Chains A and B, each alone.
Chain A
Amino acid sequence: MNLNEFFHMGGYGFYVWTSYGIALFVLLLNIILPARQHRKLLTDISRKARRAGRKP
């Protein structure tokens, strides 16, 4: 099978690759968002803890 044929998908290339593209986007998004939130939470907590520590 050549590459052109593979991307053509027997004429259904648009439908097949749009579906797989959206799936990839959604699955990656659901990894990136909690990872970013986690990092933000950790820096937030440590900043607040440091500020509380400095106060007399």
Chain B
Amino acid sequence: MFNNFFHKMASPKYFYRISGKLIPWFAVPCLLLTLAGLYYGLVEAPADYQQGDSYRIMFIHVPAAWMSMFIYVVMAGAGAIGLIWRIKLAEIMAISSAPIGAWFTFLALVTGSIWGKPMWGTWWVWDARLTSELILLFLYLGVIALYSAIDDKRTAARAVAILAIVGVVNIPIIHYSVEWWNTLHQGPTVTKFDKPSIHISMLIPLLLMAFAFKFYYAFVVLMRARCELLERERHTGWARELTEQK
């Protein structure tokens, strides 16, 4: 039964149909979580005793930074699966993740910069955390550029997977950079092993936004994967049948 399931999921036509049905099931929770997160983050949560209201940028900045790393790991993982088992859909999920990850990285960098200006007095410092996050953006852009530079998409997907896997080295560097090097960037407050040093009234909107972004990624990656799939399979029978039905 499971074998049958995977076989069906790996069929482009079936994936296209199922993913189309799945999108609203991720999009609606995403919207609800975002609204709840914005309400608790901007209205209910009190101002910070040190940073005043500026800390509210955190509710975008931190989830975006988490997503930038999470999506990278998913991309490299899907790339590896595509590389080893030659599964076309894994390749498509990997390459569809790249632009979304790049946008989240951009968002983390920009909101961090806007938060840094009033708190640190500068838009940018070349410290370990900021530099390694910038390298992450370049890795994403490298993946996108490499994929579009190679005409044969199967070859392109394999090249991209190798680049993505090598780049995984950067992920622990980003995570531990605030502990390994002394920096302006504050240390982790949520993922500490003992007790999170963040008040519950601020933790709730942070987690709501983090889950909202996860759901956002889930439906946006499916939207992109369907496009990529159609593009690759446009000359096959099922793609044509699809447009005839309408």
Which A residues lie at the B interface, using CB under 8 A? 1, 6, 9-12, 15-16, 18-20, 22-23, 26-27, 29-31, 34-35, 37-38, 41-46, 48-49
Interface residues of B in 47-69 (CB under 8 A from A): 47, 52-54, 56-57, 60-61, 64
With both beta carbons as reference points, the residue of chain A lying nearest to B239 in the complex is identified as A45
B111 shortest CB reach to chain A, Å? 4
B54 touching A16, Cβ below 8 Å: yes
B234 within 8 A of A: yes
B114 touching A23, Cβ below 8 Å: no
Q: Which of B64, B100, B111, B240 contacts A30 (CB 8 A)?
A: B100
Which B residues lie at the A interface, using CB under 8 A? 42-43, 47, 52-54, 56-57, 60-61, 64, 99-100, 103, 106-107, 110-111, 114-115, 117-118, 216, 220, 223-224, 226-227, 230-231, 234, 239-240, 242-244, 246
With both beta carbons as reference points, the residue of chain B lying nearest to A20 in the complex is identified as B60
A22 shortest CB reach to chain B, Å? 6
Query: Which of A15, A18, A19, A38 gathers most chain B CB within 10 Å?
Result: A19
- Known A11-B52, A42-B230; contact A22-B242, beta-carbon cutoff 8 A: no
Q: Complex formed: what's the CA distance from A35 to B230 in Å?
A: 13
Task: Show 24 residue pairs from A and B whose CB-CB distance is below 8 angstroms, ordered by the A residue.
Answer: A6-B42, A9-B53, A9-B54, A9-B56, A10-B47, A12-B54, A19-B114, A20-B60, A22-B107, A22-B111, A27-B216, A29-B103, A30-B103, A30-B220, A31-B223, A34-B227, A35-B223, A41-B230, A42-B242, A45-B239, A45-B240, A45-B243, A46-B240, A49-B243
Q: Give chain B's interface secondary structure class.
A: helix
Q: Which of B57, B106, B220, B240 contacts A31 (CB 8 A)?
A: B220
A16 touching B227, Cβ below 8 Å: no
Q: Complex formed: what's the CA distance from A20 to B54 in Å?
A: 12
